[in-house]
Amino acid sequence: MKIHIKNRRWTKVITSFVVIGMFGCSDSFLQDEKFDGLTDEVVFSSQETIVAAVTGVYDTFQASPAEYMTKAVFYPANFLTQDYLNIGADTFFQTFEIPPTFGAFNNFWIINYRGIGRANSVLKDLEPAIENGTVDTELGNRLKGECLALRGVLYSLLASNFGGVPLVLEPAGGSADAFAPRNTQDEVFQQVALDMEEAAKSLPWEYDDANKGRLTRGTAYAYMGGAYMWLGEYEKAITAFEALEGHYELEANFSDIHAEVNKNGKESIFEVQLYDNAGDLSWGRSDNVTFIQSFSMPNEVGNGGGYSAAAKPLYDSFETGDIRKTWSVIGPGEEHPDPLINISDYPNVQESYGGINTNGTVEDPWLGADGLPGRQGYYNVKMWRNPKVDGWNGPNIFGGQNLIVLRYGETRLSLAEAYHRTGNDAKAMELIMEIRNRAGLTTTPTGDMIDVLISEYRHELAGEFSLWWLLRRTGEHVRYLQEEFGVTVPNGRDLMPIPQEQVDVNPNLTQNPGY
């Protein structure tokens, strides 16, 4: 298995390059230009370098603006649901024919285990640094909590995509086995729960502005609750999710959740920190920015891109009066709802489409000027909120809009599901109505409660970073796709394939059934 974990040597990941990229702050974190070939002894010789080493673990989520959060997280979370359509090279998601050679999943595997390796290395050497006074005890315990929580998040993402994966809990060179077999999915989520339980003991509920984006106690409780949901331990999930109450709130307006100016809002539980910075928005960079808006905007807007398009059935499925529709999907002939986004301002729209201020027209919807089939004229509003991203060529193809991986609204629906699973449908509906009321809906839905929950997951979270995994977690995902779309999921292909390159180098690593 190509875990790519380094034990005794550190590279520039722990220095200013990553630190500034993570937080956009020039003087609150280590900036040490002497970073090549640093040993553990050097890294753990000062409080500043230790903090920087922990910050380096966060770089996992920024390691590639296209391959990680876009292709390895957003793609499976949305394309498999049939509510979003891949346009171009990766249309195999729609038919569940993802090849084991899909490069983004191999990169995702390597990048995640690299992050896990960094966390393991810090956890190994942090305790002695606390004991000998190199790092303040309170800070040291917080940093330990961050590493445990980060490791838990990374394993949660791996298990959500692949099911069981190898659990590596020690730095390479110790007891870690580079040819470890897969643990079961349950074993992975049991470890996630353990990591989050331990992390919650020392993480704060919030940070000062200089440390915004670090994982909090709330992150730990939220992922702990999610792990217990996967394990079917619903009472424990309820306890974890309810611990968030009083520390997070739903945004009063659904429109504010993904607003470019509302980074780290009161509903955000885990948010990948990105930033727009002159000189960084180019093909030569591999961190700090995201590619996802250029994938999400109409091809006509950027004179390129538009490879992730919403499907008309999603647009049509919203109830009348559901505010979430406007702020989730834009249809033909509609203006962008965000006052910061004027379609008429885009250079290519002015040059090629007469400066219209709508997403094409009803009569002539924007289906892409590149001739690629599949677009239906509908696009993701949630990932199209940064006015700086305006074209497929030049520096503005990338953007610095933060990516909300987990938010309070999702945990409220998961809590509702947990109450349903324990027989308390009245409490479940109360929580569902919290979400629906925020969306402008006052009617109480009827029918099978799990179908109600699936509908709310869909309309609350489509176009974000978790929907397919939530559907899979219910155990009703195969039935749902058949009934809603007439799509049959081939046996075993609700899980993603273990990357073939990893299977080839590790004789103990088995492929998922169906591949």
- What pLDDT, on a 0 to 100 scale, did the predictor assign at position 16? 33
Beta bridge partners of 86: 308
Exposed/middle/buried for 143, CB within 10 Å: 0-12, 13-18, 19+? buried
CB 3 within 8 A of CB 24: no
Please, which residues bridge with residue 330 across strands? 379
Task: Give the model confidence (pLDDT) of 2-39 as tens digits.
Answer: 333 333 334 443 433 233 233 333 223 222 333 345 67
Angstrom CA distances, 498 to 161, 185, 272, 440, 509, stand at: 9, 13, 25, 42, 9
Rounded-to-integer distance, Cα 182 and Cα 512, Å = 10
Q: Are strands 84-86 and 9-10 parallel, antiparallel or unpaired?
A: unpaired
Among 225, 197, 223, 203, smallest CA distance to 215 is for 203
- Kindly list the structural domains of the chain, giving each domain's residue range(s) and its CATH number in brackets, ordered by start: 9-82+99-215 (1.25.40.890), 274-401 (no CATH), 406-485 (no CATH)
Instruction: Provide the CA 48 distance to its chain's centre, in angstroms.
Output: 29
Q: What is the pLDDT of residues 176-222, one digit of tens each?
A: 567 899 999 999 999 999 999 999 999 999 999 999 999 999 999 99
- Let me know if 459 is exposed, middle or buried by CB neighbors in 10 A (0-12, 13-18, 19+): buried
- Where would I find the H helices in 250-342? 292-296, 299-302, 312-317, 323-326
Per run of 10 residues, the mean pLDDT along the chain (length 515 residues) is 35 35 30 47 88 93 80 98 97 98 96 96 95 96 98 99 97 70 98 99 96 97 99 99 99 98 97 71 56 94 95 99 99 98 96 98 98 98 94 77 97 99 99 99 98 99 99 99 98 98 96 97
- Contacts of 235-240 with CB under 8 Å at 24 or more apart are 235/418, 235/422, 236/193, 237/414, 237/415, 237/418, 238/415, 238/418, 238/419, 238/422, 240/196
Which has the closest alpha carbon to 276: 264, 260, 265, 262? 260
End-to-end alpha carbon distance in the chain: 18
